[in-house]
């Protein structure tokens, strides 16, 4: 049938030409997404023109002609949709939409804490146009800035990052203190959350009035001055005027009005379970030393002095019972105690005013065998002079070597705290540390997802830090409930381990159902160390040669003296073994060395037990003897 049909068409065409009938090409057809824009017929010699819809582009011929054989030239064109291409993402944002062709849109959104620039809802939507380009440029997402936080009188803002999620705190100038530990946080709406504190003058408290006298001045804040007077015939002893200082302590000494007929202090008495004090009067300048009975140890001032105002220095001691054997009672020391999580019951010693730590331990811990770690402290009169002349202070020389910046920013501490008698794993990170004011801000995290922000002031002189909570965040109310206490705080001390590279912050949490905590600093503390000079001179060379020579002579002479010393074994169960006198002078008793735990002062004058008195020492133990001009310090190498 195909060949017949073709024969018939050719016959028709021939007859059409023969009889003058026009050849028809029929309907040329319309392409998808296109239309015919011109046509002058469908017979021989006619033409049609095509165009694509808006948003589409043509490929192929756009014009066709009707030929003599009754067919159209070519094929209808293809109309394909116009594409603008993927516009791509933006920093700190996302975009929605996967069709990038004509008349489709893409919508941009910024991540939390960011704002779109330029602003406006229309600027976030891009539309693909008919010319294959997007109708506008992509927006950008800028971090939300909260602007400068409010200033406070007599204080300043600590922190320069005002972007979303950042925090700033406040610090007060010298002599002023924060009304509350305040930390402001930049929120997603561009505002600061948190209460702006006040910097209030430091208060020294009421200094009181002397008996038999009166005071002028009733303002007790920073830089305020008060004056004291006595009624006749009393005499004023102490400071006539006192000024409230920046540390919250009144300058000078508390005055007293004394009767000229009296010139001695009252009997301070003997503490319960203490050994009676034997003294001939209590004149100004006289000293009393206190001791406790067996199985008791002393807390408070071990030595008290009668002052000019006829009062006793220090605090009245007390005798405390304890399972650990009775430790030696040092002189000129104030003693306090703490129950630390890892160390246990610990005695902390502080030399009294006018004395410095010349040897022994600053803290001693009751060990499992009933003995005390370390050695009794030795406090000597005066201020320790650094022989190197490098300016190292007495505090730096004799304190437990805890760096001032142990809570440096970004330092991490990990450990545990006790809750309902069980240990809970926790960590905290230091976010802010001000070396001038000692201000410390930390963020504590626990496994439940609770985040606690705390703030406090680190007292480097005492290695003590009290952190108070000011913000608690968590996943559920169940986990938050145990921390919702306005008085929730961490109160503890920083101690240095024996390697002087590990630092522990431990103490107690002030809140119901909470107990001790123990946190260890992760990573080393970088401190500026003094580098020795690489240079020398002829004097130092000569000294290096002569010193060993003289040391050899002195050691032989000293050994001769020690051989002729006598020892006394006079001890009793109530007191520490007494010093005795012999032909060689005053000698020290034989005391068992209890080992060492904690910090020992190493200033070249430390007082150590002398194993040369022990005749039962093993032959393998070596003796290294170092002598000063008084020949009373012996160090032992075992």
pLDDT in tens, 472-531: 877 665 556 677 666 788 888 888 775 567 888 988 888 877 888 999 998 877 654 333
User: Using CA atoms, how far apart are residues 180 and 455, in angstroms rounded to an integer?
Assistant: 10
206: which strand partners? none
CATH code for position 51: 2.10.70.10
Boundaries of domain holding 112 = 93-143
Domain assignment of residue 102, yes or no: yes
Of the residues 133, 168, 201, which one is the last residue of a structural domain? 201
Same domain, 416 and 518: yes
Last residue of a domain, which of 522, 554, 573? 522
Burial class (CB in 10 A: 0-12, 13-18, 19+), 179: middle
pLDDT given at position 199: 92
14 inside domain: no
Does residue 605 belong to any structural domain of this protein?
A: no
Report if residue 111 sits inside a domain: yes
Q: How far is CA 245 from the centre of its chain?
A: 27
Claim to verify: residue 508 and residue 482 sit in the same structural domain:
yes
Q: Indicate whether 47 and 97 sit together in one domain.
A: no
598: three-class secondary structure by DSSP: coil
Residue 552's pLDDT is what? 63
615 Rama sector, left if φ>0, alpha if ψ -120 to 50, beta otherwise: alpha
The span from the CA of 168 to the CA of 152, in Å, is 13
195 and 121 in one domain?
no
Domain count, the chain: 5
Tell me the average confidence (pLDDT) per consecutive run of 10 residues in the chain, 638 residues long. 36 45 84 87 88 85 87 87 90 88 91 84 86 90 89 91 89 90 86 90 91 92 94 87 92 86 82 80 81 88 84 88 83 86 83 85 86 88 51 40 86 89 88 87 85 87 84 67 73 76 85 85 63 39 49 61 45 41 41 38 36 35 36 34
Say yes or no: 511 and 420 in one domain: yes
Q: Do the domain assignments include residue 123?
A: yes
Question: Could you tell me if 181 and 137 lie in one domain?
Answer: no
State whether 46 and 118 are in the same domain. Answer: no
Q: What is the dihedral of CA 214, 216, 220, 221, to 10 degrees?
A: -160
Query: CA torsion, points 150, 156, 159, 162, in degrees to nearest 10?
Result: 20
Confidence at residue 477, expressed as pLDDT on a 0 to 100 scale: 59
Its pTM stands at: 0.41
What pLDDT shows up at residue 256? 85
Local structure of 362: helix, strand or coil: coil
Residues 532, 543: Cα–Cα separation, whole Å = 18
* 59 belongs to a structural domain: yes
63 within a domain of the structure (yes/no) = yes
The HSE-up count of residue 569 (CA atoms within 13 Å, CB side) is 2
Q: What is the pLDDT of residue 392?
A: 41
Give the tokens for residue 148.
């400068």
**Could you count the other beta carbons within 10 Å of the beta carbon of residue 602?**
11
> In this structure, is residue 66 part of a structural domain?
yes
């Amino acid at each position: 049938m195909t060949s017949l049909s073709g024969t018939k068409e050719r016959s028709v065409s021939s007859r059409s030409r023969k009889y003058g009938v026009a050849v028809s090409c029929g309907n040329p057809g319309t392409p998808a997404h296109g239309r015919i824009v011109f046509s002058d017929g469908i017979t021989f010699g006619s033409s049609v023109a095509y165009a694509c819809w808006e948003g589409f582009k043509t490929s192929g011929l756009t014009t066709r002609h009707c030929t003599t054989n009754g067919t159209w030239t070519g094929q209808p064109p293809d109309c394909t949709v116009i594409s603008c291409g993927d516009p791509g993402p933006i920093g700190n944002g996302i975009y929605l939409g996967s069709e990038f062709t004509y008349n489709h849109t893409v919508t941009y959104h910024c991540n939390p804490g960011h704002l779109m620039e330029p602003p406006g809802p229309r600027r976030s939507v891009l539309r693909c146009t008919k010319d294959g380009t997007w109708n506008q440029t992509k927006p950008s997402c800028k971090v939300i800035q909260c602007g400068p936080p409010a200033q406070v009188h007599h204080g300043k803002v600590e922190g320069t990052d005002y972007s979303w999620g950042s925090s700033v705190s406040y610090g007060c100038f010298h002599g002023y203190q924060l009304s509350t530990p305040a930390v402001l946080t930049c929120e997603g709406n561009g505002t600061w959350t948190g209460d702006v504190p006040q910097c209030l003058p430091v208060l020294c408290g009421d200094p009181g009035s002397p008996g038999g006298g009166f005071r002028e001045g009733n303002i007790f804040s920073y830089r305020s001055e008060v004056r004291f007077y006595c009624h006749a015939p009393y005499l004023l002893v102490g400071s006539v005027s006192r000024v409230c200082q920046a540390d919250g302590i009144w300058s000078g000494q508390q005055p007293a009005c004394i009767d000229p007929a009296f010139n001695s202090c009252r009997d301070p008495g003997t503490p319960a379970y203490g050994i009676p004090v034997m003294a001939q009067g209590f004149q100004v300048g006289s000293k009393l030393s206190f001791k406790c009975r067996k199985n008791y140890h002393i807390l408070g001032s071990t030595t008290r002095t009668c002052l000019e105002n006829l009062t006793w220095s220090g605090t009245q001691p007390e005798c405390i019972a304890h399972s650990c054997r009775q430790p030696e009672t040092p002189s000129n020391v104030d003693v306090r105690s703490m129950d630390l999580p890892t160390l246990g019951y610990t005695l902390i010693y502080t030399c009294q005013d006018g004395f410095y730590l010349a040897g022994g331990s600053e803290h001693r811990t009751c060990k499992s065998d009933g003995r005390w770690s370390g050695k009794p402290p030795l406090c000597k009169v005066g201020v320790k002079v650094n022989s190197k002349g490098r300016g190292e202070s007495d505090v730096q020389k004799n304190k437990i070597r805890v760096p001032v910046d142990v809570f440096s920013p970004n330092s991490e501490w990990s450990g545990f705290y006790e809750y309902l008698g069980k240990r809970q794993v926790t960590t905290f990170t230091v976010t802010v540390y001000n070396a001038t004011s000692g201000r410390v801000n930390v963020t504590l995290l626990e496994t439940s997802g609770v985040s606690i922000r705390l703030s406090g002031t680190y007292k480097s002189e005492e290695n003590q830090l009290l952190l108070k909570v000011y913000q608690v965040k968590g996943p559920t109310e169940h986990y938050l409930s145990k921390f919702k206490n306005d008085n929730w705080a961490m109160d503890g001390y920083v101690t240095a381990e024996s390697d002087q590279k590990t630092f522990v912050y431990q103490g107690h949490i002030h809140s119901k159902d909470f107990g001790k905590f123990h946190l260890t600093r992760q990573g080393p503390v970088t401190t500026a160390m003094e580098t020795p000079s690489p240079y020398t001179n002829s004097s130092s060379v000569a000294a290096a040669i002569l010193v060993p020579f003289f040391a050899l002579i002195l050691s032989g002479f000293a050994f001769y003296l020690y051989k002729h010393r006598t020892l006394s074994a006079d001890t009793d169960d109530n007191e520490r073994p007494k010093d005795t006198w012999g032909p060689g002078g005053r000698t020290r008793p034989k005391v068992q060395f209890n080992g060492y735990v904690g910090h020992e002062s190493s200033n070249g004058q430390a007082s150590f037990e002398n194993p040369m008195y022990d005749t039962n020492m093993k032959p393998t133990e070596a003796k290294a003897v170092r002598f000063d001009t008084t020949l009373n310090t012996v160090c032992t190498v075992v």
